Structures are given as C-alpha cells and as structure tokens.
Amino acid sequence: MKTTEKLPEAHPISMAIFLVLIAALLASCSMFQSDVTPRPKMAKLVTPPQEPPPSDAPYCEVNLDCPASAICNPKLYIYKNDRKLLLVNNGVLVREYRIALGPTPSGDKLVRGDGRTPEGEFYICRKNPTSKFYKSLGINYPAPKHAEKALDYGAISMAEFREIMAASESMKFPPANTALGGDIYIHGGGTYEDWTKGCIAISNSAVDELFEVVAIGTPVEVKP
C-alpha cells in the first residue's frame, strides 16, 4: 500500500525569520519615497500698470530707482506752483524733490529784492560746496531774455547789458549788482516753508545727490 508523504511542517523559527525579512524589505522600499511635502505654488505678484505721464510732462518714462552713477545727461525742471524739482535723464524721470521758494513765489522775477524766483530757461553756472545753505548750484539769472527786456525799458545800462550777455556766452555767473538782482541758487536748507529770498531750496540730502550728477552747463527750466 502506497504511503502518502507528509510535507515538512514550517518551523516556528524559520517563519519568524521570514516575517522579519518581509518587514525589512517593505521598510527599504519606503526609503525611496520622498518625505518632503510639496510646497503649494506661489501666486504671481501682478505689478499694476504704470500710469502714462501727463501729455505736457518733460519725460516719457519714470525710473525713480535709477542709480546716480547711471545719470549721464541730466536736465532740471522746476515747477513753482507744485513746489517740486524734477531731475530728468535722457527723457526718463529719475528723481523728484520738494522745493521751497521766496516770499513772492508767483510771477517772473523783475527787479532786485522782489522775492521772486525767475522763470525761463537757464543753466547751472556755479557749484559751491561750502555755501551758507549747505551746498548750492547757481543758475545764470539774469539771463539774456531778462537783460533784453530790462534794456528796452531802461532798467539797466548798455554796459550792464553787455556784461550779462558776456557772462551768458562764457557760462559764467552773471553780475548780481544790477537793477535785475541775481545770486539765484538751488541750495540746501530744507523745504519746511517758503523762506528764501528768491532761490530754490531743497533738502540737504537732495542737494548732495544733485551735486554729484549736475555739471556746469546742465540745463534748468523754471516753470510757473
């Protein structure tokens, strides 16, 4: 009679070793899985569109973060009514400063002692690092336009007229001892109120920056 062979029974120790190996294998698989939770995507910051400059603005772009070292072709625009000075470089507005004026800010300057700031086109013709009001940049007032008008109505002599014209041609500081007055500067001292005698006052930090980028001959336009 054929005897049926019995399968060997699993030894308890062998079974335990088998279970340990299975557990180790499963643990090793988990090592290849990242335990870093993926970060949610950041929403993109949308920069609001910049408003276009006014149609009569002397610039077409604005970059107030432009470094001073990059300002190579400056022009100054002074707006008396708005009490501001704009520094424009190659058609780009790079700085805007608050200003203070004299006791009679409205209207063009006519005579010495009227407390007015002259209007028109000028240029920087003097730089004084040791001014009474910190630092100063002189503008060429009286300019030829003012001298011609004054000569027409007899306020200055022909000799004075020629002296003013010669100073303008050589980019030198014009005489301030005629009936037209003079000694007009952009200088430091602050903008807390209108306190000058007809000059344009700005903060000391602003004049520091202008002193760095403005040269003799830099155009200055003073508007009402």
At 109-134, the pLDDT tens digits run: 999 999 999 999 999 999 999 999 99
pTM of the model: 0.76
Q: Which two tokens stand for residue 101?
A: 């004026």
pLDDT at 34: 47
Identify the residue whose tokens are 């610039």.
59
pLDDT at 124: 98
Quick check: 92 pLDDT over 90?
Answer: yes
Give per-residue pLDDT as tens, 144-188: 999 999 999 999 999 999 999 999 999 999 999 999 999 999 999
pLDDT at 9: 56
* Phi, psi for residue 128 in degrees, rounded to 5: -120, 110
CB 86 within 8 A of CB 77: yes
Q: How far is CA 204 from CA 69, 99, 186, 198, in A?
A: 19, 11, 11, 18
C-alpha span between 18 and 13 (Å, rounded): 9
Query: Can you tell me whether residue 135 is helix, strand or coil?
Result: strand
Q: Could you tell me which residue, 16 or 92, shows the higher pLDDT?
A: 92
C-alpha span between 60 and 38 (Å, rounded): 45
Give per-residue pLDDT as tens, 41-74: 544 444 455 667 777 789 999 999 999 999 999 9
Q: Which two tokens stand for residue 172?
A: 């030198």
The amino acid at residue 76 is: L
pLDDT at 53: 75
Sheet of 134-139, strands arranged across: 61-62, 92-98, 84-89, 74-79, 219-223, 120-131, 134-139, 185-187, 200-201
pLDDT at 126: 96
Peptide bond connecting 58 to the previous residue in cis, omega within 30 degrees of 0: no
User: What is the percentage of the chain residues whose pLDDT exceeds 90?
Assistant: 74
User: What is the percentage of the chain residues whose pLDDT exceeds 70?
Assistant: 77
In angstroms, the first-to-last Cα distance of the chain is: 130
Quick check: 39 pLDDT over 80?
Answer: no
Strand partners, 95: 87
pLDDT at 15: 63
C-alpha span between 135 and 131 (Å, rounded): 5
